[in-house]
């Protein structure tokens, strides 16, 4: 079989494999649900499987985008699930205390309180990692464990149900026939991409992740960058927390955002960002998060028996990770799908920004 | 360097002293009470954790009932960990409490600690959940719900719901299961299936079944997918109210009417479930009562007095149809 250069360029693109898996997963649904791709209007909004996937996947996308930047600095943030729970708990308990739960001012204030709490968590993580030099996995473990307890304390161990139309919009409502959460996600992703790719910020993050000490010596304030990414990650988790609690109009301190940190890390990895830090791909992360959500939806629609859910999930994740590995591809498919330049396995396809990662580093120094 | 070391030593010293003080305090509480009959009965209770509203209601009920009965309650929260629970039970044994009660986190692994209790002649009462042991004499009785029976009751009440709604033809059931492997999930599904296989082998069918992890978010997401893959589902059986509440939101988003287009039966009877039922969105609720404190105290007194008790004391529970919802709502404590 001949390979045209264009095909080759396509398979070498860092988003090719994640997108291929996403498309494949979506197609698997068709034999089980013939109108899987059908989208129809119901009660003045669009309704269909694809809409559900984006709607239910929105919180994960947000958390994963924040996680991407943390991982790009060589760190990790395990506390996002707890931050999700705290934000939701604070916001919902404030709204439930209002006499008029539908009042806009009260809802905005409640969301503000929740997000401030998220930022405080982020500052604490950043402080421990950047100032105290504690390893990220340990530093963020503190809030991961303690934070859920704080959330339970706020909700008193109960599920707080609220009845607030404006608050319902952010995670469960519709705007211009689309789920409102899609717009929130689009805005956060757009701002993140603009800040990291249109300014030097992304480069600085990658420099800190590549070698924190070297970047400090060339004049980058690596500590400040690190604190910033942890705060950003916590803020993303906070917005996700608002969405999750708004989606069900309830704050569940025990279960909201449970294990979302692991799904987020998985999404980042599927998206092609190296856990070693130094480079990242926001686009890849978004695709990775969609892969995970599609996988979850697929399990429900094709009727995988409950007991085999996790095995099915594990099998798909293993396949995705193997497909991501250039060495594996070179061995199985031959050099065609393998490493770049016809069989140099040293170059990784997770190389998201090869040109910017090397060239403009000069400018910074 | 020296100052830091001093600081550490001081910190460790303070921590140790506080720990000792705490132990001493606990000892004080129990030393006198085990001896005489005139003193208040001492009950050591180890709770699973505080994972749900149901559980907090259960805890509150036990605490309130102990106070009411005038017993000294030693309460500990195991935070979902068996080792915490075992060490709590051991400390009750060393303290020499009159009766030990606990809701086991898991089913197995209790023989050793229960034998220690038996050697000290301290009777053990299980609440809410059961254990598997090699020696049946290791515990006196279980005060708790019969999950299989709850499943059967859900099946029976669904008959009434279908008759009332006038649903004709094939009944296509979507089932939202609890956490995979949890006793309530397994047994509720089993009880429901028993009724279905015995009386409705032809006209009822579970077309989809999936775990929603007992959570609202889980119920909502799974139901959204069900409605895509099986749009003709006309009955939902949820293993708890929270999943039903989540599912209701998905049913509404799909443009259908919960309680009318899709009949809903769920188990538990939490307050929010009753609110949904009074709004006509849930058709029937099978109660799983967490307020077993008063029954537990009765049993504890009998056990202490050496009177015989039944092996399994089932909690008092009711079934509720939609027309009873509004009346029952104010009585819901959890």
Q: In sequence order, what are the residues at sequence separation of 6 or more whose Cβ sits closer than 8 angstroms to the Cβ of residue A249?
A: A161, A162, A163, A164, A167, A168, A172, B249
pLDDT of residue B321: 92
Which one, of B171, B282, B283, lies nearest residue B233 by Cα?
Answer: B171
pLDDT per residue over B32-46, tens digit each? 333 444 578 999 999
Cβ atoms within 10 Å of A7's Cβ, excluding its own: 11
Chain A contacts of B52, Cβ < 8 Å?
157, 159, 254
The encoded tokens of residue A271 equal: 């998206």
Minimum Cα–Cα distance from B175: chain A residue: A306
Chain B contacts of A309, Cβ < 8 Å?
180, 211
CA distance A59 to A243: 6
- % of chain A exceeding 90 in pLDDT: 55
Chain A contacts of B246, Cβ < 8 Å?
248
pLDDT of residue A342: 41
Q: To 5 degrees, how large is the angle CA A240–CA A245–CA A247?
A: 90
pLDDT band at B15 (very low <50, low <70, confident <90, very high): very low
The encoded tokens of residue B86 equal: 């075992």
Radius of gyration, alpha carbons of chain B: 24
pLDDT of residue A335: 61
Asked if the Cβ–Cβ distance from A248 to B217 is below 8 Å, we say yes
CA distance B124 to B139: 5
Name all domains of chain A by residue range, CATH numbers in brackets. 57-324 (1.10.3470)
Judged by DSSP in three states, A157 sits in coil
Asked if the Cβ–Cβ distance from B228 to A52 is below 8 Å, we say yes
Residue A216 CB-half CA count within 13 A:
10
pLDDT of residue A345: 41
pLDDT per residue over B143-155, tens digit each? 988 999 999 999 9
pLDDT per residue over A191-249, tens digit each? 999 999 999 999 999 999 998 889 989 999 999 999 999 999 999 999 999 999 999 99
Which one, of B196, B152, B141, B148, lies nearest residue B171 by Cα?
Answer: B196
Judged by DSSP in three states, B123 sits in coil
pLDDT of residue B181: 78
- Alpha-carbon distances of B208 from A33, A234, B242, B259, B312, rounded to whole Å: 13, 37, 19, 18, 33
The encoded tokens of residue B181 equal: 């492997």
Give the DSSP per-residue string, A105-154. HHHHHHHHHHHHHHHHHHHHHHIIIIIS---HHHHHHHHHHHHHHHHHHH
**What are the backbone angles phi and psi of residue B32, rounded to the nearest 5°?**
-75, -30
The distance of B306 to chain A (nearest Cα, Å) reads: 37
Judged by DSSP in three states, B182 sits in coil
pLDDT per residue over A3-34, tens digit each? 677 777 887 788 888 899 899 999 999 888 88
For residues B58-80, one letter each, b for 16 or more C-beta atoms within 10 angstroms of the residue's C-beta and e for the rest, the string is bbbbbebbbeebebbbbebbbee
The encoded tokens of residue A22 equal: 């996403």
Asked if the Cβ–Cβ distance from A252 to B50 is below 8 Å, we say no
Asked if the Cβ–Cβ distance from A301 to B224 is below 8 Å, we say no
The distance of A16 to chain B (nearest Cα, Å) reads: 27
Radius of gyration, alpha carbons of chain A: 21
pLDDT of residue B151: 96
Give the count of Cβ contacts less than 8 A between chain A and B: 90
Minimum Cα–Cα distance from B273: chain A residue: A161
pLDDT of residue A363: 35
Q: Is a pLDDT exceeding 90 seen at residue A54? A: yes
Minimum Cα–Cα distance from A298: chain B residue: B225
Q: Is a pLDDT exceeding 80 seen at residue A128? A: yes
Chain A contacts of B215, Cβ < 8 Å?
252, 255
Interface test with A, best of B53, B186, B332 (most A CBs within 10 A): B53
Asked if the Cβ–Cβ distance from A306 to B210 is below 8 Å, we say yes
Q: Is a pLDDT exceeding 70 seen at residue A1? A: no
| Nearest neighbour of B217 by CB, restricted to A161, A244, A303 | A244
pLDDT per residue over B123-169, tens digit each? 999 998 888 888 888 999 999 889 999 999 999 999 999 999 998 88
pLDDT band at A341 (very low <50, low <70, confident <90, very high): very low
Interface test with B, best of A298, A301, A305, A312 (most B CBs within 10 A): A301
| Nearest neighbour of B215 by CB, restricted to A52, A252, A300 | A252
Name all domains of chain B by residue range, CATH numbers in brackets. 32-144+291-316 (3.40.50.2300), 147-288 (3.40.50.2300)
């Amino acid at each position: 079989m001949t390979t045209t250069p264009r095909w080759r360029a396509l398979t070498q693109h860092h988003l090719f494999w994640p997108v291929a898996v996403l498309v494949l997963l979506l197609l698997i649904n068709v034999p089980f649900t013939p109108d899987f791709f059908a989208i129809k209007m119901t009660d003045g909004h669009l309704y269909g499987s694809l809409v559900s996937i984006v709607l239910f996947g929105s919180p994960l996308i947000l958390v994963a985008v924040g996680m991407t930047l943390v991982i790009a600095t060589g760190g990790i943030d395990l506390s996002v699930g707890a931050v999700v729970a705290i934000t939701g708990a604070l916001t919902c308990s404030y709204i439930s205390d209002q006499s008029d739960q539908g009042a806009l001012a009260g809802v905005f204030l409640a969301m503000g309180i929740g997000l401030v709490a998220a930022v405080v968590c982020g500052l604490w993580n950043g402080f421990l990692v950047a100032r105290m030099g504690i390893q990220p996995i340990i530093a963020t473990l503190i809030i991961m464990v303690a934070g859920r307890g704080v959330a339970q304390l706020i909700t008193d161990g109960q599920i707080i149900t609220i009845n607030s139309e404006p608050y319902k919009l952010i995670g469960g409502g519709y705007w211009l026939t689309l789920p409102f959460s899609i717009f929130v996600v689009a805005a956060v992703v757009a701002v993140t991409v603009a800040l990291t790719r249109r300014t030097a910020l992304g480069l600085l993050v990658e420099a800190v992740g590549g070698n924190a000490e070297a970047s400090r010596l060339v004049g980058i304030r690596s500590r400040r960058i690190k604190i910033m990414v942890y705060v950003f990650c916590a803020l993303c988790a906070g917005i996700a927390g608002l969405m999750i609690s708004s989606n069900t109009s309830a704050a569940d301190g025990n279960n909201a955002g449970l294990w979302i940190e692991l799904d987020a890390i998985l999404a980042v990895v599927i998206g092609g960002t190296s856990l070693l830090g130094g480079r990242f791909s926001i686009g890849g992360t978004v695709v990775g998060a969609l892969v995970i959500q599609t996988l979850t939806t697929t399990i429900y629609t094709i009727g995988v028996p409950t007991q085999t859910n996790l095995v099915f999930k594990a099998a798909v994740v293993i396949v995705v990770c193997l497909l991501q590995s250039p060495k594996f591809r070179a061995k199985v498919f031959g050099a065609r799908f393998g490493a770049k330049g016809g069989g140099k396995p040293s170059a990784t396809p997770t190389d998201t920004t090869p040109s910017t990662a090397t060239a403009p580093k000069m400018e910074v120094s | 360097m020296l100052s830091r070391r001093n600081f550490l030593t001081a910190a460790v010293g303070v921590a140790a002293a506080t720990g000792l003080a705490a132990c001493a305090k606990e000892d004080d509480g129990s030393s006198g009470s085990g001896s005489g009959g005139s003193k208040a009965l001492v009950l050591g209770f180890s709770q699973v954790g505080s994972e749900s509203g149901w559980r907090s209601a259960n805890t509150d009920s036990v605490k309130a009932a102990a106070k009411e009965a005038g017993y000294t309650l030693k309460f500990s929260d195991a935070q979902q960990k068996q080792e915490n629970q075992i060490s709590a039970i051991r400390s009750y044994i060393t303290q020499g409490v009159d009766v030990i009660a606990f809701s086991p986190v898991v089913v197995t692994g209790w023989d050793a600690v229960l034998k220690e209790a038996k050697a000290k002649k301290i009777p053990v009462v299980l609440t809410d959940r059961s254990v598997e042991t090699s020696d049946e004499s290791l515990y006196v009785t279980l005060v708790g719900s019969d999950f299989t029976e709850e499943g059967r009751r859900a099946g029976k009440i669904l008959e009434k719901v279908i008759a009332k709604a006038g649903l004709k033809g094939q009944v296509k059931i979507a089932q939202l299961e609890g956490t995979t492997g949890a006793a309530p999930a397994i047994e509720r599904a089993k009880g429901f299936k028993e009724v279905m296989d015995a009386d409705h082998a032809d006209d009822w069918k579970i077309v989809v079944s999936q775990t929603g992890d007992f959570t609202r978010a889980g119920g909502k997401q799974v139901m959204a997918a069900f409605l895509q893959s099986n749009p003709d589902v006309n009955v939902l059986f949820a293993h708890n109210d929270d999943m039903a509440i989540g599912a209701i939101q998905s049913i509404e988003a799909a443009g259908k009417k919960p309680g009318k287009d899709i009949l809903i039966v769920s188990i538990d009877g939490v307050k929010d479930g009753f609110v949904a039922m009074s709004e006509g969105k849930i058709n029937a609720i099978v109660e799983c009562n967490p307020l077993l404190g008063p029954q537990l105290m009765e049993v504890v007194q009998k056990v202490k007095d050496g009177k015989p008790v039944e092996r399994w004391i089932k909690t008092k529970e009711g079934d509720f149809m939609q027309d009873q919802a509004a009346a029952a709502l104010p009585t819901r404590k959890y």
